[in-house]
Chain A
């Protein structure tokens, strides 16, 4: 009776539906075939890579051990579809060695024709190709490519820029570090461990002065960020910098970052003021510093921090007190029992329990 409903109203839409089914099924089949293709490519790629690695591993190992071998070993032909695997394997090993072994691998890499391959790949459009090329050129310490590599340091793509930065340091640390350190604060996207890596590669002697200059002239928010890397500079530069900052800066995040770097040496300025700082985070860091310094005359500061309104400040103050070399179990118990503020007493009790004195 109502058959007309479906027939008359859905005629047009049924046609659309039929075409939609065709499109959807075609797309589904295409995705299915594509997925199978991906699986096939993975299987073939894995097998090929395994073969290549087997073939090259012994050659690379021999080259690492001896310059003679690196210079004279007979090398297999590297086919076009194997180049990436060989380069990756070479880079993987090159990443783990230094000194003579690195020189040997560079020699081998030159014999393998890697500089030319990498320079060519650097001109390709694919990001992955460029990254591998930058890494290889850096590892080869390929000086002629320095300006080409430098052009990628400011690249918006994170991987390209950080790989280029590391490569530059690999090639010529002294020149590279003068360019790179002023860029660190502006490139927050650079993974911090990669930044640490290239700073370490350059060495504390090379980075100390540029780092000092960069931090002194930076804005507060950049100072905080840069201070994360300052432990890599020479100890006397670090100490001077930290004391400078504690004396002259009031920004809580900068102060906290600087206080974290205080390692037990005395002469830290403004300690009393820091224990009364408006920011609880600074007060907490001050408590930790007082614990690390471990001086008797600072006990009263720590006692007042034990009554702080912020849990973390009380906790760190209690831990600092419990770690003071001159506070034996009896002194700690006495101090706990003297506390009229029960939050302070509870916290000291917890800190004592943590060191097995409860």
Chain B
């Protein structure tokens, strides 16, 4: 192959990728727009506040905690105040090296309790179970460190007593009515086995006593960009897949599961880097393998707020981990790819993830090098290159604008008009540098997966703790 041919084919590969990924995103956007519209109509009809009050399904809230001494008390206090008629809270102390357990014991009057614990899903040894003398619905599972959040979550699942399990990060801020909202799909459709909700960025928001008081945009540029990114990812990314029952991920920060199904599929995989995605893929795989009807659903309501990394080191670490987890999860469940029984998951969602999400960074980064190489060698036709660059940027802006529009149409959490304008500004600015940087990190994640890297509990530098902040 001559160099001319190589360059020529390269252009067509990039063009095909460009058209494919944008067509995919636009399609998701359209599906999500209709989905959100329909959801909001029924949300009004159900009058979410009161609709199911006395008939809600009891939920076990599992909170894995590792070295969360600084925030665990505020988190638990906030979670105990969630607006839901019947729930229990199970904090799993995963062999913390700090005084997480002691703080819980002191604050909530935890006492060792002879519980008949059943290890239904595998996890490291449980040292003891504590029950609060002040809150009848609070227990703490103290276990040997299992090296991952998945292992801790599994111990919590084993201790659950209720039919639904909600796994939440210890540093997540939940909306007071989050459980009520997220339980709705289980009530509407008894074949529902998992439900996820929108996770939003808490940086910059006013938090008091573990609850979000005012929604504000962060001042940090990286966190700001992630606000727009999360809007895109959740409001049309996941909302686009959900109506096709092809949702491949429910965020580890907040997800609700039908407990028996969760136990049946073996709980979380402690060796998975992206344990949240791997679990959902496994659920799809096993349900399809057995030919059982099921639904994995996403609700667009903002149910959970989480801290986003504010420095490049943490952001890089997060993105590398996500990409590594994606590769591993797809590989572990590879029998789903083009599986005749797999439906939309096997024939649409997974191929899309494989080509555009997993391999995307390879093509994107190669594209950047290709352009630079052509420019250096003087092969670049600048006007045409600029046209395609402008098209790429404008499509990126369109997708972000559309996500911001969906947010305004649905939940309008950012009530200040200047916040709205700032989001638009970010929708333009993120195209210059941020996207390219994340593509490179994702490529590094891909390489790490291919080289078989291992994952352990990670501690990110938080913008601030969960304690009160403005």
A positions within 8 Å CB-CB of B: 1-3, 5-7, 9-10, 13-14, 17-18, 20-21, 24-25, 27-28, 31-32, 34-36, 38-39, 42, 127-128, 131, 158-159, 162, 189, 191-194, 196, 228, 311, 314-315, 343, 346-347, 349-350, 353-354, 358
Contact = CB atoms under 8 A, between A and B. Distances in A.
Contacts of A131: 45
A311 B158 CA distance: 12
Contact of B401 (A3, A28, A192): A28
**Chain B interface size, under 10 / 10 to 19 / 20 to 34 / 35 or more:** 35 or more
B372 interface: no
Contacts of A127: 41
Contacts, number: 126
B78 interface: no
Given A9-B11, A28-B401, A38-B409, A192 B384 contact: no
A10 B55 contact: no
Given A7-B381, A193-B55, A21 B391 contact: yes
A4 to B, nearest CB: 9
Nearest to A160: B45
Contacts of A196: 54-55
B464 interface: no
B454 interface: no
13 contacts: A17-B384, A17-B388, A31-B405, A36-B420, A39-B408, A39-B420, A189-B188, A193-B53, A228-B55, A315-B116, A343-B116, A353-B131, A358-B114
B134 interface: no
Contacts of B62: none
A354 B133 CA distance: 10
Nearest to A315: B116
Given A9-B8, A35-B408, A25 B394 contact: yes
A35 B404 contact: yes
Nearest to B404: A35
A25 B393 CA distance: 10
A279 B44 CA distance: 39
B231 to A, nearest CB: 12
B46 A5 contact: no
B115 interface: yes
Contacts of A25: 394
Given A35-B404, A158-B45, A193-B55, A6 B114 contact: no
Nearest to A162: B45
Contacts of A6: 11, 379-381, 384-385
A7 B384 contact: yes
Contact of B42 (A36, A38, A158, A194): A158
Contacts of B11: 5-6, 9-10
Interface of A, secondary structure class, is: helix
B108 interface: no
B391 A24 contact: yes
B293 interface: no
B391 A17 contact: yes
A34 to B, nearest CB: 6
Given A39-B408, A42-B412, A350 B116 contact: yes
A158 B47 CA distance: 12
A31 B398 contact: yes
B381 A10 contact: yes
Contacts of B115: 350
Given A2-B4, A2-B7, A5-B7, A191 B46 contact: yes
A22 B449 CA distance: 40
Contacts of B140: none
B118 interface: yes
Given A21-B394, A228-B55, A353-B114, 13 more contacts: A1-B378, A3-B378, A6-B380, A7-B381, A14-B388, A21-B390, A28-B398, A31-B402, A39-B417, A158-B42, A158-B45, A159-B42, A349-B116
A349 B114 CA distance: 7
A315 B114 CA distance: 13
Interface string B369-395: 000001001111101110110110011
A71 B387 CA distance: 71
A67 B388 CA distance: 73
